Amino acid sequence: MRIYETHAHLDFDNYKNDRDKVLASCFKAGVQKIINIGIDAESTAYSIKLSEKYPQIMATGGYHPSTVQKYDEDTLRKLLNHKNIKAVGEIGLDYYRLYNPIDLQKQVFESQIKLALEFNLPIVVHDRDAHDDCFDILTKHKPRKVVFHCFSGDVKFAEKVLNQNWYISVTGVITYKNSNLDDVIRIIPKDKLLIETDSPYLPPIPHRGERNSPEYLIYVIQKIADILRLAPKIVAEQTFLNAENFFEGV
Ligand SMILES: [Zn+2]
């Protein structure tokens, strides 16, 4: 089984003492490709550094809603030129934690969408309690390739996203008892589903409370396989091909 991790933060300090070991364990478990996600200029630069060290890792570049007060378009522009940058992200709106004023979040989100179009890169969206505003700002610019990372909407919102031909990505949250994503997963066309861990956050059951790792994607795969009544191997392979298509244009 080969596995494609589409959203991890392995540059974070959570891995500073054993990053190489964690990655070796992931590769051994079949995680063949990893997208390491930037949340500001520093973490984007570190993601690029990881991609230069490990051929299995690719990077994204962008300012997360929690860092938009530091937004510097020229710096991001330079980072996006690197050949290992496969998307702009994670970018979006977070009305749950409201790290930054909504106006500033919207302004920086929009500026980064324009950069994605200019650089012809897909967009990884962070949407927390901001479904309608994320959707409206995105559709205004008509980007072709968008994924809603750690999707948290209902079936109705999923339909809106899928009608744009965009992608939906799910995390270990789908293994939690209070998850209501089963019905969402059932309506996603098989070529539009991506999987991720969002490591170090959101560890799937039975690892809740621990630091997450891309190797735990197996639990996300198993849960999807249960919901769709498919073999885990089929789910892993289909989501692998989808991720290649989304990030690498394969
Ligand atoms: Zn993330």
Note the pLDDT tens digit of each residue in 121-159.
Answer: 999 999 999 999 999 999 999 999 999 999 999 999 999
**How far, in Å, from the CA of 37 to the mean position of ligand 1?**
6
**How far, in Å, from the CA of 99 to the mean position of ligand 1?**
15
**How far, in Å, from the CA of 90 to the mean position of ligand 1?**
7
Q: Which two tokens stand for residue 232?
A: 């885990």
Note the pLDDT tens digit of each residue in 30-80.
Answer: 999 999 999 999 999 999 999 999 999 999 999 999 999 999 999 999 999
Output the average pLDDT for the chain: 98
**How far, in Å, from the CA of 88 to the mean position of ligand 1?**
12
**How far, in Å, from the CA of 25 to the mean position of ligand 1?**
21
**How far, in Å, from the CA of 74 to the mean position of ligand 1?**
23
pLDDT at 15: 98
pLDDT average, residue stretch 236-246: 98
**Burial degree of 136 (CB within 10 A; 0-12, 13-18, 19+):** exposed
**How far, in Å, from the CA of 172 to the mean position of ligand 1?**
13
**How far, in Å, from the CA of 229 to the mean position of ligand 1?**
28
**How far, in Å, from the CA of 9 to the mean position of ligand 1?**
7
**How far, in Å, from the CA of 6 to the mean position of ligand 1?**
10
Note the pLDDT tens digit of each residue in 95-116.
Answer: 999 999 999 999 999 999 999 9
Distance CA 219, CA 226 (A): 10
**How far, in Å, from the CA of 43 to the mean position of ligand 1?**
11
**What is the three-class DSSP state of 171?**
coil
Note the pLDDT tens digit of each residue in 185-215.
Answer: 999 999 999 999 999 999 999 999 999 999 9
**How far, in Å, from the CA of 189 to the mean position of ligand 1?**
23
**What is the three-class DSSP state of 45?**
helix
pLDDT confidence bin for 1, thresholds 50/70/90: very high
Distance CA 43, CA 59 (A): 10
Distance CA 144, CA 128 (A): 22
Question: Which has the closest alpha carbon to 33: 224, 212, 242, 211?
Answer: 242
**How far, in Å, from the CA of 57 to the mean position of ligand 1?**
16
Question: Is 250's pLDDT higher than 80?
Answer: no
**How far, in Å, from the CA of 198 to the mean position of ligand 1?**
5
pLDDT at 130: 98
Question: Which has the closest alpha carbon to 124: 9, 3, 240?
Answer: 9
pLDDT average, residue stretch 150-177: 98
| Helix 131-141 vs helix 102-118: crossing angle, to nearest 10 | 30
Task: State the number of CA atoms in the 13 A half-sphere of 184 facing the CB.
Answer: 26
pLDDT at 40: 98
pLDDT confidence bin for 29, thresholds 50/70/90: very high
Statement: the pTM of the whole predicted model exceeds 0.95: yes
